[in-house]
């Protein structure tokens, strides 16, 4: 989601006549697109903003902007002002569309008359989607279908910094997707904090997915993120009804114990999650399922953690993003009794080891089989990569001109857990 937001920011700058540079020393404008979901992300961004101070001394005309969800935290505007007085523009998540206007505004003043702009408004204001995007992920294009989140999981800062759920109109989404497919994009990924609660003009997510899946182009359709409490068999039926929709679901479980799930406010049980997995696998046996899993949430006992490991063993995710719980200001869990850092570290190490072992074992299921792969990138020496419909990355050799093509790749090697193959009917 943040990558796509950066594409919108880059597009705004290009439409003002700026060009991208790889060397920060030559920049006229620097925009920090921030994230505050975990403390580590926030610390990193502080360090990076600090690094710019010297550049500002060398080039007083440099415009430094900070946008993204970190700015939306209570009191953050003042913190940024006092820590980094050289910042010129701070915008919140719902007024980032004003970035171009604000840059134009301050660059039109002589230096001594330049004012600082700090505009943080309620994060739940209406959707403004008229950005010119500088897309950087061809053949994939990201498409926001909704913004914000209403779930208030007790550990999560997102609803505070991104506001209440707001869905875009189905017509504007369909128009955008058709335009992207006409332009030659081969994979569309629908984005939202919880796509399953999409609702606009009487369309729910199932109806939207069905309508996009039915578009008569050769393309792939993915979506993320799905919340287990809202994920339904109707979605899986629609996935099976359209060839374009990938056999892939990102379904964050967060924890395997009912005690922890309840304390997290996730609104489903371990049993309900496992039922969902069985339902999906009954209808789509080779469905790739990935997850987000957190360790060290307050109240997580050894037994609770053991249940997370047992769930991971039972489900056998294709892959999982694993996180150490990080207390976030203003959330319910921040006020609960915290787990010591050494226990969190032990748990995350065990969880990563287990998931790595499973991912590696699952890699062998692909060996000696042929898959349709969308070529996503080609590096030096024609070293290419692309994904199967169910989300596994495969490495193979092919020329750069093939980026965006669908190729049949025969997987002939598993190295660590990475898959390697060759183009079928003509080794390359
Ligand atoms: N600490 C650690 N991980 C978190 N996530 C969300 N909030 C926190 C937090 N406070 C994780 C969840 C979510 C993913 C995007 O980030 O697992 O699904
Ligand atoms: Fe955060 Fe929960 Fe919303 Fe996901 S569903 S963004 S974890 S509050």
Looking at residue 124, what is its pLDDT?
67
Return per-residue pLDDT of the chain as tens, 428 residues. Answer: 788 889 999 999 999 999 999 999 999 999 999 988 998 888 899 999 999 999 988 888 899 999 998 998 988 988 998 999 999 999 988 888 899 999 988 887 666 677 888 887 766 666 676 677 889 899 999 999 999 999 999 999 999 999 999 999 999 999 999 999 999 999 999 999 999 999 999 999 999 999 999 999 999 999 999 999 999 999 999 999 999 999 999 999 999 999 999 999 999 999 999 999 999 999 999 999 999 999 999 999 999 999 999 999 999 999 999 999 999 999 999 999 999 999 999 999 999 999 999 999 999 999 999 999 999 999 988 999 999 999 999 999 999 999 999 999 999 999 888 899 999 975 44
User: What domains are there in the chain, each with its CATH number?
Assistant: 2-119 (3.40.50), 137-246 (3.30.750.210), 276-366 (3.30.750.200), 367-423 (2.40.50.140)
Contact 32, 49 (CB under 8 A): yes
Closest atom of ligand 2 to 162 CA is 6
Contact 166, 148 (CB under 8 A): yes
Residue of 151, 196, 230, 266 with the most ligand 2 atoms within 8 Å of its CB, for mutation: 151
Q: Is the CB of 255 under 6 A from ligand 1?
A: no
**Three state DSSP letters for the chain:** CHHHHHHHHHHHHHHCCCCCCCCHHHCCEEEEEECCCCHHHHHHHHHHHHHCHHHHHHCCCCEEEEEEHHHHCCCHHHHHHHHCCCCCEEECCCCHHHHHHHHHHHHCCCHHHCCCEEECCCCCCCCCCCCCCCCCCCCEEEEECEECCCCCCCCCCHHHHHCCCEECCHHHHHHHHHHHHHHCCCEEEEECCCHHHCEECCEEHHHHHHHHHCCCCCCEEEEECCCCCCCCHHHHHHHHHCCCECCEEECCCECCCHHHHHHHCCCCCHHHHHHHHHHHHHHCCCCEEEEEEEECCCCCCHHHHHHHHHHHHHHCCCEEEEEECCCCCCCCHHHCCCCCHHHHHHHHHHHHHHHHHHHHHHHHHHCCCEEEEEEEEECHHHEEEEECCCCCEEEEECCHHHCCCEEEEEEEEEECCEEEEEECCCCC
Cα–Cα distance, 271 to 253 (Å, whole number):
11
Of 176, 87, 156, 73, the residue nearest 120 (C-alpha) = 73
- Distance (angstroms) between ligand 2 centre and the Cα of 241 equals 29
Instruction: Report CA(265)–ligand 2 centroid distance (Å).
Output: 10
Give dist(CA 52, CA 47) in Å, integer. Answer: 9
| pLDDT attached to residue 111 | 64
pTM: 0.93
Give residue 186 CA to ligand 1 midpoint distance, Å: 30
Dihedral angle over CA of 206, 210, 213, 215, nearest 10 = -140
pLDDT of res. 42: 86
Pocket probe mutation, ligand 2, options 123, 227, 261, 323, max atoms within 8 Å of Cβ? 227
Ligand 1 pocket test target in 1, 2, 35, 37 with most atoms within 8 Å of CB: 37
Find all residues with CB under 8 Å of 421, minimum gap 6, and list them.
371, 394, 395, 396, 409, 410, 411, 412, 413
Contacts of 281 (CB under 8 A, 6+ apart): 287
Closest ligand relative to 230 C-alpha: 2
Q: Is 328 in the pocket of ligand 1 (CB under 6 A)?
A: yes
CB-ligand 1 contact for 297 (6 Å cutoff) = no
Chain segment 158-184, per-residue pLDDT in tens: 999 999 999 999 999 999 999 999 999
The gap from C-alpha 66 to its chain's centroid, in whole angstroms, comes to 20
How far apart are the CA of 42 and the centre of ligand 1, in A?
13
pLDDT at 119: 81
The residues near 129 (Cβ < 8 Å, ≥ 6 apart) are 144, 168, 172
pLDDT for 120: 78
Task: Tell how far CA 218 is from the center of its chain.
Answer: 24
Which is nearest to 411 in space by CA: 376, 364, 379? 364
What's the CA gap between 259 and 45, in Å, rounded? 34
């Amino acid at each position: 989601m943040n990558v796509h937001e950066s594409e919108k920011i880059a597009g705004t700058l290009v439409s003002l006549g700026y060009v991208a540079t790889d060397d920060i020393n030559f920049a006229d404008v620097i925009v920090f697109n921030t994230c505050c979901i975990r403390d580590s992300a926030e610390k990193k961004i502080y360090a990076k903003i600090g690094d710019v101070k010297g550049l500002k001394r060398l080039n007083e005309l440099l415009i430094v902007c900070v946008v993204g969800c970190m700015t939306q935290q209570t009191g953050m505007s003042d913190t940024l002002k006092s820590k980094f007085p050289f910042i010129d523009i701070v915008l919140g998540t719902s007024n980032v569309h004003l970035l171009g206007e604000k840059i134009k505004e301050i660059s039109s003043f002589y230096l001594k008359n330049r004012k600082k702009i700090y505009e943080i408004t309620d994060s739940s204001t209406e959707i403004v989607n008229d950005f010119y995007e500088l897309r950087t992920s061809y053949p994939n294009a990201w498409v926001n279908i909704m913004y914000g989140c209403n779930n208030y999981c007790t550990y999560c800062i997102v609803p505070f910094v991104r506001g209440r759920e707001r869905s875009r109109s189905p017509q504007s989404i369909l128009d955008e997707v058709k335009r992207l497919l006409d332009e030659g994009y081969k994979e569309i990924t629908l984005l939202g904090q919880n796509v399953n609660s999409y609702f606009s003009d009487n369309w729910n997510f199932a109806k939207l997915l069905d309508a996009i899946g039915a578009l008569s182009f050769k393309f792939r359709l993915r979506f993320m993120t799905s919340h287990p409490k809202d994920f339904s068999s109707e979605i899986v039926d629609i996935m099976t009804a359209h060839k374009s929709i990938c056999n892939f679901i990102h379904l964050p479980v967060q924890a395997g114990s009912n005690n922890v799930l309840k304390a997290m406010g996730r609104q489903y049980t371990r049993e309900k999650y496992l039922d969902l997995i069985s339902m999906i696998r009954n209808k789509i046996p080779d469905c790739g399922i990935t997850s987000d899993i957190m360790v060290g949430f307050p109240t997580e006992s050894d037994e609770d953690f053991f249940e997370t490991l047992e769930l991971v063993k039972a489900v056998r995710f294709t892959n999982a993003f694993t996180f150490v719980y990080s207390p976030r200001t203003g959330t319910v869990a921040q006020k609960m009794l915290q787990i010591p850092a050494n226990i969190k570290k032990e748990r995350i190490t065990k969880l990563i080891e287990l998931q790595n072992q499973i991912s590696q074992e699952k890699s062998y299921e692909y060996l000696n089989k042929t898959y349709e792969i969308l070529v996503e990138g080609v590096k030096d020496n024609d070293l290419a990569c692309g994904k199967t419909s169910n989300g596994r990355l495969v490495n193979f050799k092919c020329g750069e001109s093939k980026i965006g093509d669908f190729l049949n790749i025969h997987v002939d090697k598993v190295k660590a857990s990475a898959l390697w193959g060759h183009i079928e009917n003509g080794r390359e």
